[in-house]
Every structure is written in structure tokens, then in C-alpha cells.
């Protein structure tokens, strides 16, 4: 059952639409003062367990608009030399300066004003810089600076994983790499082990080091990507600007600083080495970010004995109940509603969906799922109608019907007769303000959070607004509705809608919307009006660049066929 949602916040004033997020996981009752979530994960997107509780409020840690950063350094162990850790960091940690410009989803042909932000990063083998994805999200220009150097060097973003909030940068200048020490990745620290977090938080221009100990290791909400992956909680004072800096244990990296708990003192979070290795390994094998796998399931705990008896679970059996399956996942092929998942890759699941982790620790089995590589086979033991079975599932990343985020790309749009059509995304809903969950159109919001895709290319196409003109007068109140059909044909996605409009051979063009609303236009009159409306509103083109590319490909294909 989907619970109410608690907010997650990131310490970035220039990206308010990134400031809230909700995950699937355990929850407590939501206090009355808690804010509404900004990013919300649909029930099928990442977590295999369907409890979607209130989440704690977290903040991202990169400094904005000239604010300098402070870093947090934790002493690796009681016997480690703190000064050695500091010296190691001084030759490895860099300051990152980012200029970015985010899309305007209400006016998708425009970008918002340019913003500046700062974060941290560190060099790793292969002449690469590792940092957070939110440090360089929607970037237009990136510079890096070494400790003790006045020179800033141009950097290029090689790969970005927004789900895991990690990015790899490269610098061409040979001078930049002189004297730098590449940091090696270590292991997950044990509870109460000390770590040193290094970076450039706000409050000064020089590097900063703070210390703390590991207090918790478990899957946690990643604010930036609105996903749930393993994270390490530490008691170090991580602040804005620390994002992307290393947490050092001994002479190796234990994690990457990326967010803290809003309203709490000295509760910070670092991305652990298994997540980092999964990200880097995927980039090295494929040349690009490949994503994290998901089963595409929504599951219910079976902690109630009567529930277990109803599904014929023996006394020694434990597991979780499958309640919903994403049609695009490979699990849809072999699993059914009301199956009980008993084990994943030979690891038994408890009735609360957790699996053993280290010494008397437990984590949700989502972590096992997320550590699988794309196209890797997972063996899942299930109970169906009282009979145990084992099925094979091909793992792969899954996309929500309504994208949770759309960084580093321009929104798609199509304009016809002043009618602005776009695919529904959560960033579009975030444009309704801080309290978007309550202020955005309720029907669109519910579909964004709950509906599952039926086809790989499916989108929810909506009429976002009407640019007023004589041709569309009287239709201005029909905005914010989903477009169901064009001339009687069901709309699959925005590209399909464009093709249906431009290939029209009828005198009249009909759009069927939600609530049985209808828009009908004379096709030739509407085509003429489109140019007039674009000119009046200073819109450069009737469609976004991605649709232009598709249009050009279709023209070339037609020419090839005619020849």
C-alpha cells in the first residue's frame, strides 16, 4: 500500500525542483510540519518492496553562486596518522566550478537563466575525476582547480549516472595532472570505523577536512536521482560544497560525500564503494552509463501469520508477496501476482524483505538486485499455489512511464495551431512550485506516480497550454489534459502525435482529450495559423530538436523509397 510521502531536500538554492524526493521503504508517521515530496518514485521504478513511506529530509552538498565549500575529513582508524590522510587528500581532491542552465518545462523552447555552483571531486586511476552527478547536472561549462593552485582548468563530463549521483570528468591539460595522486577505492567500512571527509564546503576557499565515524549502512534515498541505493551514514559535518569529495579510510576511498539530513546536526551520507564500482565498471565496459537494474516489482511483506497461511507458506518459509509487476520487466514473463519470492540468487528473503549483510546486519534485497549487471541472469525462488519453483530473470534497468528526472537534455515539445503538446514528466510537475504534489493537476500527478508503461516507447502526451489565437479561441481552458487520440488513432508518444498531425489527409483535425473533451480544427487553417503564432511568441521552431531529427529521418527514408 502506498503510504503518504515525506520530503527530501538538497542544499541547492539554484535547483528548487530537485529539493524533494520520496522512496519505497520503511516509514513512520509523518509529522505535521513535514514538507511535501519533490521527487517521487513510482511504485515500479527501483525498489522491489512496495511500502512507500515518508522519507527523511536530505540535502545535497554542493555550494551555489560563489559560496565556498568546507570539507569533512574522518580519521580512518584510531591508529591511523591523521596528517598522512590529510597529505593524501591535498594531492588528490579538486574544486569544481560549474555553470549550468536548466530547461523551462512550462516554456520548453527556453532555458532558465545561467547559474553558478561549486563542488568537490577527486582523481582516480585513468586520469579521471570522480564527483557527484548533481554537481555537473545541466552543465554548460565546467572548470576544476587543484589544491594550492590559482589556475582553473577546463573539464569535460565523460559520463553521468543521475540515479547513483556520480559523474566522471576528464581534463586534457597535461599540466593539470602534474603532482596529483590517484586515490584507490577501498571497502565498505564497519560500524564505528573512522573516516575522513575532504572537500570544499561553503565558508572558505581552501580545502577543508572533518572527521567522523560510520553509524549506519543501508539502502537510502538518493535525493538527486530519486532512487534507493546503498549509502553510508556518518556523523561528520558535511556541508554545501562537500558534494563529490572523498571519504578516506586509511589510504583508500570509503565513499563519496553527497547529501546530509536536513534539520539534523552531523548526519551525512556517502556513496559506498560497491555503488561506485558498479557505475565505473558499467562506463568502462560500455563506454557510457548503463544504469542500475530493477526487478520491476511491487512487493508486500508477509509478516502476518494469517497472510502466510493463506498463501500456503510452510512454517520455515519466509519471503515477500508480489503485488504488481512492470509489464516491461523480464519478471513479467515468469512471475505472477500473488507469487511469494523466497530467495534471490540463493539468498533467502525474510518476511520483511531483508537479507543478511555482514555481521548481524540486514538490508533490503533491493541491494542484491541493484548490484546485478544489465543482461545478467538472476535465479529467483518462488512459491506459487503452494508449490516451490525456481525461475530465471534477465536483469535490466527500467524506465518509469513518467520520467522522474530529465537532466542534461532539452524537453520535447510540438506546437500545432497554438496547441503546445509535451510528454508528461515529473520536472514539468515540479514547475508548479515547492508544493507541487498538491498544486499540480491532481489527475496528472496521480498518473505520474502510479501508472505503469505498457510499451517501451509509451509516453503520456498532454496539452500543456494554448497560445491564444483566433484559430484556437474557446479551447484555452482545455490545457493540462492528456491527449488520448488524434483523428481516432490512439496516441503512443509525442513523436507519434507529430506524425499523425503532419500526415493528416482529412479536412478536419480532431484531438480527443481527457474528460471526453474534443478539439476540432480545420487542418489547412490551423497549419497557416501555426507560423503566425510562432512568430508572435518568438518561438524558434514548431517542434523540439529531437522531433526535428525524426522528421528529417522520415524525409530521407521517403526519398530513398521513391528513388
Instruction: Map grid coordinates 503566425 to a residue.
Output: 532
Give the C-alpha separation, 402 to 427, whole Å: 10
Q: Which domains does the chain have, with CATH numbers?
A: 63-286 (2.40.10.120), 297-394 (2.30.42.10), 414-562 (3.20.190.20)
Query: Annotated catalytic, 367?
Result: no
**Torsion angle of C-alpha atoms 108, 114, 120, 126, degrees rounded to 10:** 70
Burial of 484 by CB count in 10 Å (0-12 exposed, 13-18 middle, 19+ buried)? middle
150-174 confidence digits (pLDDT tens): 999 999 999 999 999 999 999 999 9
Give the C-alpha separation, 552 to 344, whole Å: 47
Strands 387-394 and 340-344: unpaired
Mean pLDDT of 221-241: 89
Give the C-alpha separation, 4 to 30, whole Å: 8
DSSP letter for 538, please: T
**Torsion angle of C-alpha atoms 76, 267, 55, 325, degrees rounded to 10:** -10
Q: What pLDDT does residue 17 have?
A: 25
Query: Annotated catalytic, 60?
Result: no
Q: What pLDDT does residue 4 have?
A: 31
Give the C-alpha separation, 162 to 277, whole Å: 15
Inform me whether the pLDDT recorded for 120 exceeds 90.
Answer: yes
DSSP letter for 111, please: B
340-376 confidence digits (pLDDT tens): 999 999 999 999 999 999 888 999 999 999 999 999 9
* Higher per-residue pLDDT: 263 or 143: 143
Inform me whether the pLDDT recorded for 13 exceeds 80.
Answer: no
274-318 confidence digits (pLDDT tens): 999 999 999 999 999 999 999 999 999 999 999 999 999 999 999
466-486 confidence digits (pLDDT tens): 999 999 999 999 999 999 999
Q: Quick one: pLDDT band at residue 37, thresholds 50, 70, 90?
A: very low
Q: Quick one: pLDDT band at residue 82, thresholds 50, 70, 90?
A: low
Give the C-alpha separation, 418 to 31, whole Å: 44
The number of beta carbons lying within 10 Å of the beta carbon of residue 211 is 19
392-446 confidence digits (pLDDT tens): 999 999 989 999 999 999 999 999 999 999 999 999 999 999 899 999 999 999 9
What are the grid coordinates assigned to 356, written together? 543478511
Inform me whether the pLDDT recorded for 223 exceeds 70.
Answer: yes
| CB within 8 Å of 115: residues ≥ 6 apart | 14, 64, 65, 99, 100, 101, 102
N- to C-terminal Cα distance for the chain?
58
CB 407 within 8 A of CB 133: yes
Count of all residues that appear for the chain in the document = 563
Burial of 251 by CB count in 10 Å (0-12 exposed, 13-18 middle, 19+ buried)? middle
Q: What pLDDT does residue 204 have?
A: 83
Q: How far from the centroid of its chain's Cα atoms is residue 506's Cα? A: 42
CB 350 within 8 A of CB 317: no
Q: What pLDDT does residue 46 have?
A: 34
Inform me whether the pLDDT recorded for 239 exceeds 70.
Answer: yes
485-539 confidence digits (pLDDT tens): 999 999 999 999 999 999 999 999 999 999 999 999 999 999 999 999 999 999 9
Burial of 335 by CB count in 10 Å (0-12 exposed, 13-18 middle, 19+ buried)? buried
Q: Quick one: pLDDT band at residue 62, thresholds 50, 70, 90?
A: low
Mapping DSSP onto H, E and C, the string for 23-88 reads CCCCCCCCCCCCCCCCEECCCCCCCCECCCCCCCCEEECCEECCCCCCCCCCCCCCCCCHHHHHHH
Inform me whether the pLDDT recorded for 19 exceeds 50.
Answer: no
Inform me whether the pLDDT recorded for 542 exceeds 80.
Answer: yes
* Higher per-residue pLDDT: 7 or 182: 182
Burial of 156 by CB count in 10 Å (0-12 exposed, 13-18 middle, 19+ buried)? exposed
Mean pLDDT of 78-84: 50
| CB within 8 Å of 135: residues ≥ 6 apart | 62, 96, 98, 117, 119, 120, 121, 167, 243, 244
Inform me whether the pLDDT recorded for 60 exceeds 90.
Answer: no
Q: What pLDDT does residue 202 have?
A: 84
**Torsion angle of C-alpha atoms 157, 459, 521, 532, degrees rounded to 10:** -10
Inform me whether the pLDDT recorded for 232 exceeds 60.
Answer: yes
What does pLDDT average to over the chain? 85
Catalytic residue among 7, 12, 48, 243: 243
DSSP letter for 502, please: H
Catalytic residue among 134, 224, 367, 430: 134
Q: What pLDDT does residue 43 have?
A: 35
Query: Annotated catalytic, 243?
Result: yes
Q: What pLDDT does residue 327 have?
A: 95
Mean pLDDT of 219-243: 90
Inform me whether the pLDDT recorded for 216 exceeds 60.
Answer: yes
Q: Quick one: pLDDT band at residue 338, thresholds 50, 70, 90?
A: very high
Give the C-alpha separation, 29 to 3, whole Å: 9
Q: Quick one: pLDDT band at residue 87, thresholds 50, 70, 90?
A: confident
Amino acid at each position: 500500500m502506498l503510504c503518504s510521502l515525506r520530503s527530501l531536500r538538497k542544499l541547492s538554492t539554484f535547483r528548487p525542483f530537485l529539493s524533494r524526493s520520496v522512496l519505497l521503504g520503511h516509514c513512520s508517521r509523518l509529522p505535521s510540519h513535514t514538507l511535501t515530496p519533490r521527487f517521487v518514485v513510482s511504485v515500479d521504478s527501483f525498489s522491489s518492496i512496495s511500502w512507500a513511506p515518508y522519507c527523511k529530509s536530505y540535502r545535497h552538498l554542493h555550494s551555489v553562486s560563489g559560496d565556498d565549500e568546507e570539507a569533512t575529513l574522518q580519521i580512518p582508524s584510531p591508529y591511523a596518522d591523521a596528517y598522512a590522510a590529510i597529505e593524501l587528500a591535498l594531492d588528490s581532491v579538486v574544486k569544481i566550478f560549474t555553470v549550468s542552465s536548466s530547461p523551462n518545462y512550462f516554456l520548453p523552447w527556453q532555458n532558465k537563466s545561467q547559474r553558478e555552483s561549486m563542488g568537490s571531486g577527486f582523481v582516480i586511476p585513468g586520469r579521471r575525476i570522480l564527483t557527484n552527478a548533481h554537481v555537473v547536472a545541466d552543465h554548460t561549462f565546467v572548470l576544476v582547480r587543484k589544491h594550492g593552485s590559482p589556475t582553473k582548468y577546463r573539464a569535460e563530463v565523460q559520463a553521468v549516472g543521475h540515479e547513483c549521483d556520480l559523474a566522471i570528468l576528464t581534463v586534457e591539460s597535461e599540466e593539470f595532472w602534474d603532482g596529483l595522486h590517484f586515490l584507490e577505492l577501498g571497502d565498505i567500512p564497519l560500524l564505528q570505523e573512522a573516516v575522513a571527509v575532504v572537500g570544499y564546503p561553503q565558508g572558505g576557499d581552501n580545502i577543508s577536512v572533518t572527521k567522523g565515524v560510520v553509524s549506519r549502512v543501508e539502502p537510502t534515498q538518493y535525493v538527486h536521482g530519486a532512487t534507493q541505493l546503498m549509502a553510508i551514514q556518518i556523523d561528520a559535518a558535511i556541508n554545501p560544497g562537500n558534494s563529490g569529495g572523498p571519504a578516506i579510510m586509511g589510504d583508500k576511498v570509503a565513499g563519496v560525500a553527497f547529501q546530509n539530513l536536513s534539520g539534523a546536526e552531523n548526519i551525512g551520507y556517502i556513496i559506498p564503494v560497491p555503488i561506485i564500482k558498479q557505475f565505473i565498471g558499467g562506463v568502462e565496459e560500455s563506454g557510457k552509463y548503463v544504469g542500475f537494474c530493477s526487478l520491476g516489482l511491487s512487493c508486500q511483506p508477509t509478516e502476518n501469520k494469517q497472510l502466510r497461511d493463506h498463501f500456503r507458506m510452510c512454517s520455515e518459509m519466509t519471503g515477500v508477496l508480489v503485488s504488481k509487476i512492470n509489464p516491461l520487466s523480464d519478471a513479467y514473463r515468469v512471475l505472477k501476482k500473488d507469487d511469494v519470492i523466497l530467495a534471490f540468487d540463493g539468498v533467502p528473503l525474510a518476511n520483511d524483505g531483508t537479507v543478511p549483510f555482514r555481521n548481524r546486519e540486514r538490508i533490503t534485497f533491493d541491494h542484491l538486485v541493484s548490484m546485478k549487471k544489465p543482461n545478467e541472469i538472476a535465479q529467483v525462488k518462488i512459491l506459487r499455489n503452494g508449490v516451490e519453483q525456481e525461475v530465471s530473470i534477465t536483469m535490466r534497468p527500467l524506465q518509469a512511464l513518467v520520467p522522474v528526472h530529465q537532466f542534461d537534455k532539452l524537453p520535447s515539445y510540438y506546437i500545432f495551431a497554438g496547441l503546445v503538446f509535451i510528454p508528461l514528466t515529473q520536472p514539468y510537475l515540479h514547475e508548479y512550485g515547492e508544493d507541487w504534489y498538491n498544486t499540480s493537476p491532481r489527475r496528472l500527478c496521480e498518473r505520474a506516480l502510479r501508472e505503469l508503461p505498457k510499451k517501451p516507447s509509451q509516453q503520456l502526451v498532454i496539452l500543456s497550454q494554448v497560445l491564444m489565437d483566433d484559430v484556437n479561441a474557446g479551447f484555452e481552458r482545455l490545457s493540462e489534459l492528456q491527449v488520448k487520440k488524434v483523428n481516432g488513432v490512439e496516441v503512443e508518444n509525442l513523436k507519434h502525435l507529430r506524425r499523425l498531425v503532419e500526415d493528416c489527409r482529412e479536412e478536419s483535425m480532431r484531438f480527443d482529450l481527457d474528460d471526453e473533451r474534443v478539439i476540432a480544427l480545420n487542418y489547412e487553417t490551423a497549419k497557416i495559423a501555426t507560423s503566425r503564432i510562432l512568430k508572435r511568441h518568438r518561438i524558434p521552431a514548431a517542434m523540439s530538436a529531437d522531433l526535428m531529427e525524426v522528421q528529417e529521418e522520415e524525409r530521407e527514408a521517403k526519398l530513398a523509397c521513391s528513388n
